[in-house]
Structures are given as C-alpha cells and as structure tokens.
Amino acid sequence: MIELNKKNIPKHIAITMDGNGRWAKAKGKNRVFGHKNGVKAVRETVESAVENNIEFLTLYAFSTENWMRPKLEVNSLMNLLISSIINETKTLMKNDIKLMAIGDINKIPKTAKNKLDSVIEKTKNNAKMSLILAISYSGRWEIINAVKKIIKNNVDANEINEHLFEQYLDTKNVPDPELVIRTSGEHRISNFLLWQIAYSELYFTKVFWPDFRKKDFINAIVEYQKRDRRFGK
C-alpha cells in the first residue's frame, strides 16, 4: 500500500474525466455505455478524496463545447447526471460532502437544474469536503462572464487586480487547484479552469476514466508530492 505524505496533501484537486467514448468503442459499445461506466470511477474518486482529507474536488463533467455532441448523447448525459445526483445524495450527506456547481448552469434542462439545485441546497452546510461539478463550463466562458459582471457593476479600471477579478469568477470562494489530473492519455487543458490553474501541477495518465480507481488517484497525489513547486521563484 502506497503511503502518502500527510503533510503535503493538495487542498484542491481538479480532474478532467476523459476517455469514456474511446473506452466504450474499444468494447464495441456506444459512447453512452462509457459514460454510464464512468460513474463508478466518480464514486471511488470521491471516496478516496474524502479518505485522504482533500478539501475540494472539482470534476469536469460537461463542457460548453459538449453541447455540440449528438443530441442522443447529450440527453443521455443529462439523464445520467440526474440519476447520479439522486442516487448519491444519501452518500453526500453521510460523508459530510457539500455539492457545488460552476458553469452556465441555466443552460441545462430544467429538470436536471432543479434536481441539482435541490441537492446543492440540501448539502450546503456539509463541511468535510466540497465536491464541485463543472457543468456547461469552460474557462473562456467563465472569464468572459466575469468581465461582463465587472462592466455591469461599473468597476473603476484602476481598482481591477487579480484579487478583485477572482471575486467575479464562479470559483470565487474556492482555492486554486494544486493538482490537475487528466485521464485517457491526452495532454491538453481543454478549456478547464484557465485562470485557476496558472501554477497547478499537471498529471496525465493513460487510464481511461471508466477504469480510473482509488489506486490511480493515489498515484497522482504521490507524483504531485515528488514535485518542487516554486511558483516562478
């Protein structure tokens, strides 16, 4: 069993859950089959994060670009989101996990949004860990949206700095991730938390998301603990 350095645990880990479609294709199945099997990876990752005292876990669930996928796949993803939230609500409460969401949430179907809002409200006082779902999200959308809010509030240009700008982001009350994990062997950021990951450590694994398990999550943290974070100094 790999031993982690408990004094060097990332406060916030963000994950791009990639490879569901290719995993399914390799098995002669459609992409939806891959998304459904990715739910177990989510469950194990969340459990491992709680067990290792991660305070914030952000999962890239659905990007703004994903709306361009075939309608059947999009509808299946939204239905899967609803069912997963319903099925995992008791687990979130049991483990003292607060559910949050970032992104253009108003764009998702009303039924899914209502269920999401309900669980967010129910878990808002939980304090062990914050599970953040990035839904209908992209880094560029978030930055542009922040600029629009700043303009709407007539903020003096001389007052704008990094701290003020961050107050207009979806993640305004969330620390930047120290570690970003991407599965499936791709080496891209894919429009994920573009502002927040300026100094994050990036970890890429060839494991497709449906096969991602606790040991893979721990391996990523172990690799993170080997790195010397200098922040440009």
Q: Which of 56, 47, 50, 53 is nearest to 15 (CA)?
A: 56
Q: Give the neighbor-by-neighbor strand order of the sheet with 56-63.
A: 97-102, 129-137, 56-63, 12-16, 179-182, 201-204
Could you tell me the two tokens for 74? 């999009």
Q: How many helices (H) and strands (E) does the chain have?
A: 7, 6
Cα four-point dihedral sign 73, 179, 183, 38: negative
216 noted as active-site residue:
no
Q: Which one from 5, 30, 53, 66 is the annotated catalytic residue? A: 66
What does the alpha-carbon distance between residue 107 and residue 89 come to, in Å, rounded to a whole number? 23
Phi/psi for 69 (5° steps) reads: -75, 165
Q: Which one from 18, 37, 170, 216 is the annotated catalytic residue? A: 18
Q: Which residues are registered as beta bridge partners of 181?
A: 15, 203
18 noted as active-site residue:
yes
What positions carry a catalytic annotation?
18, 66
